[in-house]
Chain A
């Protein structure tokens, strides 16, 4: 029997305690954080080192077994939902920070290292790893690289792809491939590390990642601006960018979200405000002072009723606590929460905000909008109950319309959650037929048996 053979072979590689195949355990690896149908795999395996990982990939290659790598399973596009005849490779025990090099400012990590753990470790040495996806307390670096995760600091510091210097991985045949380097510059060969970023486990299985680190900014200043209308807030965002100021974070909360946060945390937010902007500038103390004052001026110029600047760390924490609790507060309103991340060029934020309001009315659904206004990456968050079939249909139509509006404005389906299963059917609308075909041919050449996370990104081959 094939399944039994495979499980026995896996046990030989990693030991019986690291192989799971009971029906109950398989149910727990059948989902991720995306609102999609669960798929039950045949086994899950937890390698403890790179050597074991390589042998697992080789075994899957020999038996033509689909494999899906899973870190924390926080994916919002279904990238970690496995194949029904496949194996789930768990990176939980590949969680060592192998090196933090202060002189050359890079870190070498295994894929299972938790993002926040790495960020804290480098900060202790006065260095900075800026990408901070919302799930950073649990998400893994492997997952961040595979999805090209973003976060609140995208505007000034970029996203995961901007920090990947090198990746080593096992290809579909189980061969170990090295790419990139520990140098700032590297011009040899194809940029395979770049190719691995955002590949969602469809091109190889990573075992080591080299990440760029930067110096920790010396000063920062946070403020919150209150607006009567969301239009005023979104115009301020465009004005700040046009003034050649790049805040570290520039976040927006709409009225729906403000009310949700307030009823949840009683933080004293103005319930009648149309929108809030939460802004932080950081860098050299002198520049922080100057930029902070100018941003404050711009907020007022574009109609802010009030601008409150945090005078100490406690006040700063209170400002950001409101933003951090946005998703939690919204999640408590209804059983099902669909967190979208369609993104537009930042100058188009006012137009996108208007579109979202229209879509919410047209389909008669609740949408709370908050997110990274400064980089054009809003999170329209739809609140529903999937058990209500009629409403769910309207939700699906609304999501499709959100995609279309974002594309019309020159944007993208996903700023940071990835394509996965959820957006694969829509990808052609964004990139066109020939891009899909090129991607599929690339995949087919590297993975002829289609065993690396099948079904994701490019759809069925």
Chain B
């Protein structure tokens, strides 16, 4: 193991980004974790101070800082509200990578990221296996969220209620697709994303249907994998870089106007993190990443701004019921997309009922939910209460990870509320009118 001085040296690379924090403490007002714990080390200002301390070689070992740095949802609420414009998420991700590279990844994470996640084929093989056997360990809840829970007490599943893995993942149903440009004159490539592929293939199926309706050419290449955020959140820049390079190769085979995803987290990762964190050396890849991330769009944003939607006053038949909408952090705080999903919901013939704190984090935070399920649930319960208070029977949100967390929270509370992607509502509308 290297000495702390060399670690300090590496953290010092972040200094120019760290000094931007003026310690004003505004981040405390929006941090979902701080709201629960009131601890300074849980909020951005505290973590930035710790990184500053690490750079000044103030600690005997990096473990305490690492542990605190990992207690973060990476929701970016702090960054979105920071008066000084500190790029908190990028700093934290770089710092996690520096620490992981210094300490080495844990053996379990090495297997998960290096062997599984960074190789889409192996990853698919294991997730399909898990899909086949899930019924042995879990039972269906028979609720509007269509979740399952553990049959017996399980340390891994805890008391989670989760949407089941799909019997057939999306890429089994539609391994590849390349349809010609229709009346819209637009060609779009779809980045499916793991959760949609393996848990919510129905969303990707709806994408195909909606695009067909609007005459949008659709390109879905074979062999897609993960956008890389789980590896990055654990500091594994190598697996992340490998995944980015893999996808750049896949998507350069066809010409298209936009790369669209229906997952807020994938969109935000491709747009923000692919260009800033990729560390590959191959000449030209960096420029390709820049170009691809520039034409990447969230699906709500794409449909509302680039396609003329069928206006809802053309609806013949019953009007959709009231729907409330949750802003995924990776859409609103990271990308500033908040208007479009709402417009899509309204265009689908639904009345939109705003919940209290629609843009408050749901508490999922990817691996945060795995390691800190207790706090994650406390944050999620607040979201569930806001949803329930609207008395809507459907909550829509543009991120499949948020959908998992919100389904869990609603299932636990016994609320009779369905969880949908805005695109699903639009697809329903097109089918039913």
Contact residues of A with B, CB < 8 Å?
A: 20, 22-25, 27-33, 46, 72-74, 90, 92-93, 95, 114, 116, 135, 137-138, 327-328, 331-332, 335-337, 385, 387
Task: Give bound CA distance, A236 to B110, whole Å.
Answer: 68
Known: A28-B40, A331-B84. A23 touches B59 (CB 8 A): yes
> Of A22, A135, A328, which is in contact with the most chain B CB atoms at under 10 Å from its CB?
A328
In the complex, the answer to whether A135 meets B26 with C-beta atoms within 8 Å is yes
Known: A24-B68, A93-B38, A328-B83. A335 touches B20 (CB 8 A): yes
> What are the 9 closest A-B residue pairs judged by CB atoms, nearest first?
A92-B38, A328-B83, A24-B64, A28-B46, A28-B40, A335-B19, A137-B29, A331-B84, A138-B29
Task: Give bound CA distance, A33 to B24, whole Å.
Answer: 5
> Of A27, A93, A327, A385, which is in contact with the most chain B CB atoms at under 10 Å from its CB?
A27
CB-CB < 8 A to A135: which residues of B? 24-26
Contact of A24 among B24, B25, B65 (CB under 8 A): B65
The answer to whether B49 has its CB under 8 Å from any CB of chain A is: yes
Known: A33-B23, A138-B26. 14 other contacts (CB 8 A): A23-B58, A23-B60, A24-B50, A28-B45, A28-B50, A30-B49, A72-B28, A74-B25, A116-B29, A138-B28, A328-B83, A328-B85, A331-B22, A335-B20
Closest residue on chain B to residue A27 by CB atoms: B53
CB-CB < 8 A to A29: which residues of B? 40
Question: Could you jot down 13 A-B contacts, CB within 8 Å?
Answer: A27-B49, A27-B50, A27-B53, A28-B39, A28-B40, A28-B41, A32-B23, A32-B25, A33-B23, A74-B25, A92-B39, A135-B26, A335-B20
Contact of A137 among B26, B45, B49 (CB under 8 A): B26
Known: A28-B49, A74-B24, A331-B84. A387 touches B64 (CB 8 A): no
Closest residue on chain A to residue B67 by CB atoms: A24
In the complex, the answer to whether B50 meets A337 with C-beta atoms within 8 Å is no
- What class of interface size applies to chain B in its complex with A? 20 to 34
Q: Flag B14-58 by CB within 8 Å of A: 1 or 0 each.
A: 000001101111101100000000111100011001100100001
B7 to chain A, nearest CB (A): 14
In the complex, the answer to whether A24 meets B41 with C-beta atoms within 8 Å is yes
Task: Give bound CA distance, A332 to B82, whole Å.
Answer: 10
Known: A22-B64, A24-B50. A337 touches B22 (CB 8 A): yes
B317 to chain A, nearest CB (A): 37
Task: Give bound CA distance, A33 to B39, whole Å.
Answer: 16
Q: Flag B50-92 by CB within 8 Å of A: 1 or 0 each.
A: 1001000011100011001000000000000001110000000
Task: Give bound CA distance, A114 to B29, whole Å.
Answer: 9
Closest residue on chain A to residue B63 by CB atoms: A24
A336 to chain B, nearest CB (A): 7
B175 to chain A, nearest CB (A): 46
Task: Give bound CA distance, A31 to B68, whole Å.
Answer: 18
Contact of B39 among A20, A23, A30, A332 (CB under 8 A): A20
Task: Give bound CA distance, A328 to B22, whole Å.
Answer: 10
CB-CB < 8 A to B50: which residues of A? 24, 27-28
B35 to chain A, nearest CB (A): 10
Closest residue on chain A to residue B23 by CB atoms: A33
In the complex, the answer to whether B24 meets A25 with C-beta atoms within 8 Å is no
Task: Give bound CA distance, A46 to B53, whole Å.
Answer: 23
CB-CB < 8 A to B60: which residues of A? 23
